[in-house]
Amino acid sequence: MGLSIIVATNKDNVIGVKNDLPWELPKDLKYFSKITKGQTVVMGKTTFESIQSRIGKPLPGRKNVILAFEKDYKVEGCEVVNDWESVIDLAKTDDVFIIGGAMVYKTALPYANTLYITEVSAEIKNADCWFPKINYPEWELTQEDPQSKDENNPYDMNFKVYKRKKPIEFLDFEHARTPEQIALMKKIEKDGLCPFCEKYFKKYHPNKILKETSNWMVSENMSPYAGTKLHLIIVYKEHAIMPGEIKPEAYAELSEIFKWAEKKYKLKAGSFFMRFGDTCYTGGSVNHAHIQFLLGSAKSDDANKDKLKVKLGYKKKSI
């Protein structure tokens, strides 16, 4: 049981042109059929309608599931779900394959354990749909099968299979600081969702969103560090682990956020840092790039006064 992605794309991550495939490749369609036959396939509404226009029916020999947000959307021969949580639940009992389109791929990528990628050697000039960026260091190439072009397949292609190197872990319980935080994390773990992605941050984080931009959400930290007078958390809306996965324009928005914080809280000092990557190195409890924005107490001669101490990393003891 689990979640896989299957897609055909080129070096530019192109996957579509005007709600259709950018190429005709019978070999790839045969490969797609072989991999997904007898399985559960999940797609967005637009992808289903593209398939419907091509073959006039749902994909045969598979359980067709459509992720659509219209509550009254129904299709004969298909199951319709209205939220991503329902897809996660399906993957607990079925082998689920995500087959498009771009937004569904983007949502699914952080949760997938296997990628079936057909790399197509094609230049597409009028593309309007792209596959999300893959952080390849997280993945291991386990299979590849290069195919040369022929009279029916105008482009060379390579069928590649990638397996995630480490199990998906959105949470690190070792770095939780309060019983309340641990209790909430247990619920999130059971749900199998990333609590810092935009939709779920608002679901699991009870504190008010104080500032929001196109790419970031700002709130007071639920479990502020001891010694803080102010502890904000600035969370990237899309799922990202490493700084290189964050869009350049998002970094520009941080300047707007910092100016807002300076003015709102009349700041004369403070600190901020980003937690990213493997949480066993960072002290983070959520494996999703985010920024901690802190103000500690003023310097004092009182030895008993709370000091602001933050773990930013760990050093292994020599043996």
Per-residue confidence (pLDDT) for residue 14, from 0 to 100: 97
User: Does position 317 have pLDDT exceeding 70, yes or no?
Assistant: no
Tell me the percentage of the chain whose pLDDT exceeds 90: 82
For the range 223-227, what are the long-range contacts, defined as Cβ-Cβ under 8 Å and sequence gap of 24 or more?
223/176, 223/177, 223/178, 223/180, 223/181, 225/177, 225/294, 225/308, 225/309, 225/310, 226/306, 226/308, 226/309, 227/296, 227/297, 227/306, 227/307, 227/308, 227/309
Which residues, including other chains, have CB under 8 Å from residue 177's CB and lie 6 or more apart? 223, 225, 285
Q: Which amino acid would we find at residue 295? A: L
Could you report the per-residue pLDDT of 154-183, keeping only the tens digit for each? Answer: 999 999 999 999 989 999 999 998 899 999
Mean confidence (pLDDT) of the chain: 93
Per-residue confidence (pLDDT) for residue 298, from 0 to 100: 76
Per-residue confidence (pLDDT) for residue 109, from 0 to 100: 96
Min mean pLDDT across 5-9, 32-36, 218-222, 301-305 is at 301-305
Q: How confident is the model at residue 301 (pLDDT cuts 50, 70, 90)?
A: low
Provide the terminal-to-terminal Cα distance of the chain, rounded to the nearest Å: 40
Per-residue confidence (pLDDT) for residue 300, from 0 to 100: 67
Taking the C-alpha atoms of residue 100 and residue 39, their distance in angstroms, rounded to an integer, is 15
Tell me the percentage of the chain whose pLDDT exceeds 70: 96
User: Does position 115 have pLDDT exceeding 50, yes or no?
Assistant: yes
pTM confidence score: 0.87
User: Does position 34 have pLDDT exceeding 60, yes or no?
Assistant: yes
Per-residue confidence (pLDDT) for residue 315, from 0 to 100: 58
Structure tokens at 56: 């006039």
Q: How confident is the model at residue 303 (pLDDT cuts 50, 70, 90)?
A: low
Per-residue confidence (pLDDT) for residue 311, from 0 to 100: 78
Q: Which residues pair with 294 in a beta bridge?
A: 231, 271
Q: How confident is the model at residue 292 (pLDDT cuts 50, 70, 90)?
A: very high
Would you list the DSSP string of 52-80? HHHHSSSPTTSEEEEE-S-TT---TT-EE
Structure tokens at 271: 């600190």
Per-residue confidence (pLDDT) for residue 319, from 0 to 100: 41
Which residues, including other chains, have CB under 8 Å from residue 151's CB and lie 6 or more apart? none
Which residues, including other chains, have CB under 8 Å from residue 124's CB and lie 6 or more apart? 10, 12, 14, 17, 22, 23
Min mean pLDDT across 38-42, 51-55, 141-145, 233-237 is at 51-55
The residue among 213 and 167 whose pLDDT is bigger is: 213
Contact 283, 311 (CB under 8 A): yes
Could you report the per-residue pLDDT of 259-272, keeping only the tens digit for each? Answer: 999 999 999 999 99
CB crowding 267-306: b at 16 or more within 10 Å, else e = eeebeeebbbeebeebbbbbbbbbbbbbbbeeeeeeeeee
Domains of the chain: 2-164 (3.40.430.10), 173-296 (3.30.428.10)
Residue 62 burial (CB < 10 Å; 0-12/13-18/19+)? Answer: middle
- Rounded mean pLDDT, 304-316: 71
